[in-house]
Amino acid sequence: MKIMNSSKSIYIALIQIAFGLLFGLMLFPSNVKSIVIIVTSIFVLINFFSSKNTFDKNYFLSNTFYFFVLLFTLLFSNNLDVAFLKIQTMLSLIVFPLIFSLLNNEAKKRLIKFKINYFWIYIISVVVYNTIPFLWFYSGIPNYSFLGMSYHLKNFIMNNIGKYGIHPIYMSMHCCIAVIFSIKVFLFIKKKYKKILLLILNLIIFFFLLIYARKGPIIALIITLIFFSYLEYRKYFKYNLILIFGLITLFSLIPTTRNRFLELSKMSTTTVDGSSSSNIRYTIYNNSIELIKNAPFLGYGIGDYQEELNKSYQKNAPILLEKKYNSHNQYLGFLLIGGVLLLVSFLSFYGKKIILAYKTNNTLLISILIFYGVTMLFENILERENGVIFFALFINFFSLKKAK
């Protein structure tokens, strides 16, 4: 009996270590990320069979139904090669619910107990990932102005660091989520030196947020902080609003972020090169909506919707074909892929998560749901590796019982 209990403890310890690696996943190159997820799955499976746990099929089905609806669109997708590549990228949406459906209560309790450590891992990973390329880039080209650095660093981390490359909008998302985690950590820790360290790390994070100057994540962060303050610290809500207003003022005073937001006042369709990102998105949305009108109920299928978008760009805005833009809005993307059927199934999943989180006072889950919910208005985060993996990990992790 002691040997069996010892084995179970080892398996659970391995799961804890694996989850630490998952929270630090951005420090791994893209080809290693899947290996870390596979190793975690193996540890969870071993623990599942050794503990004779019951598979939580209700949790699994409620969290993956929309993914099966997405798979249904394979039936009317002509380009199956593209379809399967898309499905492969989005597999985290079914893999992580499966992992969490296999966890026993003891493993869940251990993971919840270590959540602050996981937050630290994630926050430090965000800082390290940003700082190393910055210092590397800066040491190589020391004569750039700050504006020059901010412009070229974004291209550098996207195009010049190989399998570590990441689009600035996803790096901005990581920075914003690290800020959300930091609030929880700051209120949990007691030692002064840890609080000082956390503040320093967040100053570094805000520095990079200003460099990337991505509107979507910044808007999502501000909205999330407002809701988080109201739900978690209602007594001090008005004081927190002052701090949030100060944050907004900071973003508005820095030229890189201010100019980004000023783009919103000059939105129009574009057919020429050099247009602002807001104009490009506005044009994409118009083309997407026109396509949706022609196939509102079932969409075009996971393999064909991008081709249909490209045809629309060819007709209305050929300049957009150069980068083969997707819909840049996950909700429009789902409508294009699977029509109203897919979007409603996803919104049903999302709405149930929010309701359950609110009933159980799970403010961290609500915050993550709000952040991603707003960000999906600007980006197809579930169709890109750096978006979907962390979305699936965080949504399922913070859905653990008693997780707050």
pLDDT tens column, 61-87: 999 999 999 999 999 999 999 999 999
Model pTM greater than 0.75? yes
Can you give the three-state secondary structure of the chain, one letter per residue?
A: CHHHHHHHHHHHHHHHHHHHHHHCHHHCCHHHHHHHHHHHHHHHHHHHHHHCCCCCHHHHHHHHHHHHHHHHHHHHCCCHHHHHHHHHHCCHHHHHHHHHHHCCHHHHHHHHHCHHHHHHHHHHHHHHHHHHHHHHHHHHCCCCCHHHHHHHHHHHHHHCCHHHCCCHHHHHHHHHHHHHHHHHHHHHCCCHHHHHHHHHHHHHHHHHHHHHCCHHHHHHHHHHHHHHHHHHCHHHHHHHHHHHHHHHHHHHHCHHHHHHHHHHHHCCCCCCCCCCHHHHHHHHHHHHHHHHHHCCCCCCCCCCHHHHHHHHHHHHCHHHHHCCCCCCCHHHHHHHHHHHHHHHHHHHHHHHHHHHHHHCCCHHHHHHHHHHHHHCCCCCHHHCHHHHHHHHHHHHHCCCCCCC
Give the span between the Cα atoms of 49 and 155, in whole angstroms. Answer: 47
- The pLDDT value given to residue 229: 81
pLDDT tens digits, 146-164: 666 666 777 778 777 778 8
Predicted confidence (pLDDT) at residue 4 exceeds the cutoff of 80: no
Per-residue confidence at 3, pLDDT binned at 50, 70, 90?
Answer: very low
pLDDT score of 152: 74
Q: What is the pLDDT of residue 364?
A: 92
pLDDT at 339 over 80: yes
Does residue 276 surpass a pLDDT of 70?
no
Q: What is the mean pLDDT of the chain?
A: 86
125-139, 161-175, 265-279: least confident range: 265-279
Summarised one tens digit per residue, pLDDT across range 232-266 is: 776 656 656 667 676 666 666 666 665 555 555 55
Position with higher pLDDT, 270 vs 57: 57
pLDDT (mean) for 323-333: 89
Out of 195-199, 213-217, 380-384, which region has the weakest mean confidence (pLDDT)? 213-217
Task: Render pLDDT for 33-57 as a digit per residue (tens, 0 to 9).
Answer: 999 999 999 999 999 988 877 899 9
On the question of pLDDT at 177 being above 80, the answer is yes
Residue 214 lies in a domain: no
Residue 323 domain-assigned (yes or no): yes
Please report the pLDDT score of residue 167 as a whole number: 86
29 lies in some domain = no
pLDDT of residue 303: 92
147 located within any domain: no
Give residue 20's identity as a one-letter amino acid code: G
Contact 187, 364 (CB under 8 A): no
- The pLDDT score that the predictor gives to residue 1 is 46
Q: What is the pLDDT of residue 240?
A: 64
Question: Is 89 within a domain?
Answer: yes
- pLDDT at position 252 is 66
- Is there a domain that residue 238 lies in? no
Q: Where does the pLDDT of residue 23 fall: very low under 50, low under 70, confident under 90, or very high at 90 and above? A: very high
What's the average model confidence in pLDDT over 139-146? 63
Position 5 confidence tier, pLDDT thresholds 50, 70, 90: low
How many domains does the structure of the chain reveal?
Answer: 1
Which tokens hold the place of 270?
Answer: 């574009």
**What integer is the mean pLDDT of 366-378?**
95
pLDDT at 2: 46
Mean pLDDT of the region 352-364 = 91
CA distance 218 to 180: 12
Domain that holds residue 321: 56-103+268-404
Residue 219 within a domain: no
Q: Report the pLDDT value the prediction gives residue 267, as an integer from 0 to 100.
A: 53
